[in-house]
Amino acid sequence: MTADGEAFENRLRKRARHLDAWARREGVTAYRLFDRDIPGWHFAIDRYADWLVVHEYPWKPGDALHGARRDELLAALPALLDVPASRTVVKVHARHRWGESQYGRAGGSRKLVVAEGRLRFEVDLGPRLDTGLFLDHRRTRALVGKLAAGRRVLNLFSYTGAFSVYAGAGGAREVTSVDLSRTYLDWLGRNLALNGLGGPPQRQVAADARTFLREAGRGRYDLVVLDPPSHSASRRAGSDFEVQRDHRALVEAALGCLAPGGVLIFSCNLRDFTLDPALAPSRPVELTPGSLPEDFRGQRPHRAWRFDTRAGGVHGIAGSR
Ligand SMILES: C[S@@+](CC[C@H](N)C(=O)[O-])C[C@H]1O[C@@H](n2cnc3c(N)ncnc32)[C@H](O)[C@@H]1O
């Protein structure tokens, strides 16, 4: 065993004891158990129902201990978490841009359904890095569900539609989901169907989010969810997208299509992201760390802001309407 192997096992055992009980209470079956909590352990471990996903993050070339730690971790998991090695998948992360490696990894799917309370989501533990559900946004999704009642909702960069499912289940008047990828829009359709939400008032649009916003009418929506990738490169979009460079224009365009009393939720998972100070007059209220669910406390997987067009209507995630 490596010198810190015991520290790893103790840490994981303690977190699993706490989080398994928490998840049972919440009805959550996909959640994070470990995220680089011990220096030198470049791994995250997620439970997806009765499967485990181990994320192996980039490590320093020449880190002689990394391979030994990986072997130790994989050997210890079945007993520690009661999941056999045959139901454990390892995803090796390298820097990538949406539209490059993500799509290239398609094929050989391993689908299952996970729960967040009464809602259900199809995930795929196949070779893609992404599973179809970003676990750190569970509370942001719940906020969107709460805000959606009676509202016209626009979900940009909708991916597999988790926000659209919450909005629909929360009683949205209509939900428009926009994504460049038909593969993900089809997946979104399956997630809606899993929750009995197919058909109107749900609408899916295969388009570049920036082009869509340019053509959306002013005041057309009451709630916009804007959760773009950090970078994306796609021939269909016509140009690259870099969230740090491009978010100001995107946020301003999204605010432009909000009706009075409307709300924009903007989120970003770029490490070291800073919100453009030029957006200050629109009174952004940062939702993080309140937006982080129990299994991501103390981490910084995303930063999220709420923009409220109602004068004086400023709410954090805990005190949301
Ligand atoms: C990181 S995900 C977004 C996360 C998502 N909002 C969620 O609920 O988990 C990236 C998604 O953005 C989409 N995408 C990338 N560039 C786009 C663009 N220019 N316009 C619309 N969708 C885009 C991809 O197809 C993918 O589904």
Ligand 1 lined by 154 (C-beta under 6 Å):
no
Given ligand 1 and candidates 212, 232, 239, 291, which is best to mutate, with the most ligand atoms within 8 Å of its CB?
232
Q: Is 208 in the pocket of ligand 1 (CB under 6 A)?
A: yes
CATH number of the domain that residue 68 is part of: 3.30.750.80
**Which of the four pLDDT bands, split at 50, 70 and 90, describes residue 316?**
very low
Does residue 265 have its Cβ closer than 6 Å to ligand 1?
no
**If you average pLDDT over every residue of the chain, what do you get?**
91
Is pLDDT above 50 for 320? no
| Residue nearest (by alpha carbon) to ligand 1 atom 27 | 159
Please give the DSSP secondary-structure letter assigned to residue 89: E
Would the CB of 301 count as within 6 Å of ligand 1? Answer: no
Does the beta carbon of 229 sit less than 6 angstroms from any atom of ligand 1? yes
pLDDT at 238: 67
The string of pLDDT tens digits covering residues 69-120 is 999 999 999 999 999 999 999 999 875 555 544 434 445 899 999 999 999 9
Task: List, for residues 226-281, the tens digit of each pLDDT value.
Answer: 999 999 887 666 678 999 999 999 999 999 999 999 999 999 999 999 999 999 99
Distance 12 CA to ligand 1 centre (A): 32
Domain boundary (94, 119, 150) is at: 94
Percent of the chain with pLDDT over 70: 91
In the chain, how many domains are there?
A: 2
Which has more confidence, 290 or 97? 290
The reply to whether 115 and 50 lie within a common domain is: no
Are residues 122 and 72 located together in one domain of the fold? no
Distances (CA, A) of 88 to 53, 56, 125, 135, 261: 6, 13, 9, 18, 46
C-alpha span between 34 and 298 (Å, rounded): 12
Arithmetic mean of pLDDT, 137-151: 98
| pLDDT of 172 over the 90 cut | yes
| Co-location of 144 and 286 in the same domain | yes
Q: Which atom of ligand 1 is nearest to the CA of 141?
A: 8
